[in-house]
Structure 1
Amino acid sequence: MSCCGGSEEKKRSRALEKEIRRGKRKRVPYLLLLGAGKSGKSTFLKQMRILHSSGFTQVEREAEYRPLIAQNVIMCVKSLHQGMLRLGLKYYAVQNGQLGEAMVDYKPEGFLHADLADQIDTFWLDPGVQECYRRQREFGYDLPDSTKYFLDATRRLGGTSYTPTDQDIIQSRAPTLSIQELAFTMDRKQIAIVDVGGQPSERRKWVHLFDGVRGVIFLTAISEYDQVDQKTGENLLKHSMALMGTLLSSPFFTSSGFIVFMNKMDVFQDKISYVPLRHYFSSYHGPQGDSKAAADFLEHEFCEVVPAGTGGFPRRRSPSISAAMSSLRRGTSLHSEQSDEHLVYLHRTTATNTENIRNIFEAVRNIILINLLENIGVTP
């Protein structure tokens, strides 16, 4: 499984799609990973590879992820420079503005040169750039979520001797434009997680391919509650809710169990302290800046996206999923009033946090996935 594009990945994706079209995949136990773009699906898949598969080889770290991370760093600088221009902010040091301008058309040569890494570090520390970063919502959130992570560590990332760590790889970002699969062993049984991409143009390619799939993991970036699509003007979190509602109503997923990860909780908890939820969801009347109350409200909003009577999304809550998992963040188990076949579970996650994903997936595996996999031929 590769996260960085290229001809080999495209070949694997086409071969996998052919298998799915021929129906071969229906005999293989698998979970479908769905969600809107930038919801954290690729990050989750990388975490699963680290936790339950062989991780990343030295060749992958140096040949695939080192160039990708260099590209990510340059993109962060470009986006900040564009933000400076849009906000009319001035650089405190002239050379930092010159660097920002030079990066507009710059393409890294497979790695980040050490001297350039030093210049970017100075650029990042410029007070004008720091103000731009704090005001990013004023120019449309064009900055990657990993901007602070990478620019805080620029000097470490520079030079030919740099080898990406697991956390560097997790923080890296490349659009998923092809079908990806990760197979691993769970309870001595082989299963696979399939990521089909999150862009609307990709969605049309896969929605008909998985008729009868039993397990779906749906990721949504809860931190996008105040963000809009630059082309349509649609609120991104409301779009994600609508997408989930569409999937739950789809005849292709009528018998599927759903696991919903309300993702990017770390970003959400920081943002909610200064960006009121009420400005974007007028029905919220809870305390301002209270991340738990706000998350509880949004969880309820997800429960309401499909009208009662469709057989898609339940309207009633059940008790805590397990007293035994009290040391973890309690997941919400939702059961359809129409049928016992359709179950939806919600968990609050931070996909970039390996320990969080480890704990949540243990709860999912022990309480949810075994039941779902029994329906597709895997016995615990």
Structure 2
Amino acid sequence: MAFDTRSAMVAHGMVETHVFLMHIASIKALWADSGIQNAYDRRREFQLGESVKYFLDNLDKLGELDYLPSQQDILLARRPTKGIHEYDFEIKNVPFKMVDVGGQRSERKRWFECFDSVTSILFLVSSSEYDQVLMEDRQTNRLTESLNIFETIVNNRVFSNVSIILFLNKTDLLEEKVRIVSIKDYFPEFEGDPHCLSDVQKFLVDCFRNKRRDQQQKPLYHHFTTAINTENIRLVFRDVKDTILHDNLKQLMLQ
């Protein structure tokens, strides 16, 4: 496996190739153990990365001496956003500047540094975390926390003329989860079939939409996304581009 073997990197948690290869068989045996699988099935009770299964299921590939990460491997090697990151890009000759901010509580105090002169806010939330708690607060449901943050933003007068686009991400994980975990156990107000994906998705959209105090204001745009599906994101961003340009043009005409 193509790990960096420089001592400085090893000191920061990287694993040397020969050490990793030496333990692959043991890791595979451990992952196949029924007790470990039972623990994995209860992963919502503790903080476990969502990509763990993917990488443990692909140990043989990762252990190849000439291994190079695929696009999928890179997308699944997620790290939380820390700090503020700006990205300039174009979609069909239309320039965009995207400012990415971390969602952890410790990062939120810096958000308002980025909100001056924004034309749109893309609010990204995991649609599959209705049964999980925060890493920094094991008493608070993750979806509830996202709803509370969204309520603060969507009702802020500063953003009265800003397009707010809701990205309900991780649709692939939501589809898996609704089969086995009832959302009604965590949100008793849910009505419908808790194991029906479309019913759960409708409920999620309604939860966010109902956080707006002024229901007469501009529409709330939403998209269900799977960030590791590049084709899905390409189509979504095409729609987002049209939404942003349309809303900005309308604002200019009203001025």
The one of 299, 305, 316 equivalent to 2:211 is 305
CA spacing shift, 1:118–1:375, aligned 2, 3 Å: farther
The one of 15, 20, 34 equivalent to 1:109 is 15
Please state whether the residue corresponding to 1:260 is helix, strand or coil.
strand
Task: Report the equivalent of 1:265.
Answer: 171
Q: CA deviation at 1:374?
A: 4.4
Distance 1:135 1:190 in 2: 44
- The aligned runs of 1:1-380 (5 Å cut-off) are 107-109=13-15, 113-137=20-44, 139-140=45-46, 142-158=47-63, 161-229=66-134, 231=137, 233-308=139-214, 315=215, 337-338=216-217, 342-366=218-242, 368-372=243-247, 374=249
Distance 1:110 1:263 in 2: 34
State the TM-score, normalized to the length of structure 1: 0.59
CA contact (8 A) 2:167 2:225 kept: yes
Percent identity, aligned pairs only, is: 33
Q: Which amino acid is 2:241 matched to? A: R
Distance 1:361 1:214 in 2: 15
CA contact (8 A) 1:221 1:263 kept: yes
5+ residue gaps in structure 1?
A: 1-61, 68-105, 309-314, 316-336
Q: CA deviation at 1:127?
A: 2.1
Q: CA deviation at 1:155?
A: 2.1
Please state whether the residue corresponding to 1:207 is helix, strand or coil.
helix
CA spacing shift, 1:108–1:117, aligned 2, 3 Å: farther
Distance 1:204 1:160 in 2: 44
In angstroms, what is the RMSD of aligned CA positions? 2.5
Runs of 4+ in 1 over 6 A off after TM superposition: none
Distance 1:163 1:372 in 2: 43
Distance 1:373 1:125 in 2: 54
Q: CA deviation at 1:114?
A: 2.1
Please state whether the residue corresponding to 1:191 is helix, strand or coil.
strand
Residues paired across the two proteins, number: 243
State the TM-score, normalized to the length of structure 2: 0.85
Please give the per-residue CA displacement for 1:83-110, whole angstroms capped at 9, x wherever unaligned.
xxxxxxxxxxxxxxxxxxxxxxx94336
Please give the per-residue CA displacement for 1:240-264, whole angstroms capped at 9, x wherever unaligned.
0111111112243222101111111
Distance 1:232 1:125 in 2: 29
Distance 2:143 2:228 in 1: 19
- Higher mean C-alpha deviation, range 289-298 or range 356-365: 356-365
Q: CA deviation at 1:151?
A: 0.7
Q: Which amino acid is 1:133 matched to? A: Y
Distance 1:116 1:375 in 2: 60
Q: CA deviation at 1:373?
A: 5.4
5+ residue gaps in structure 2?
A: 5-11
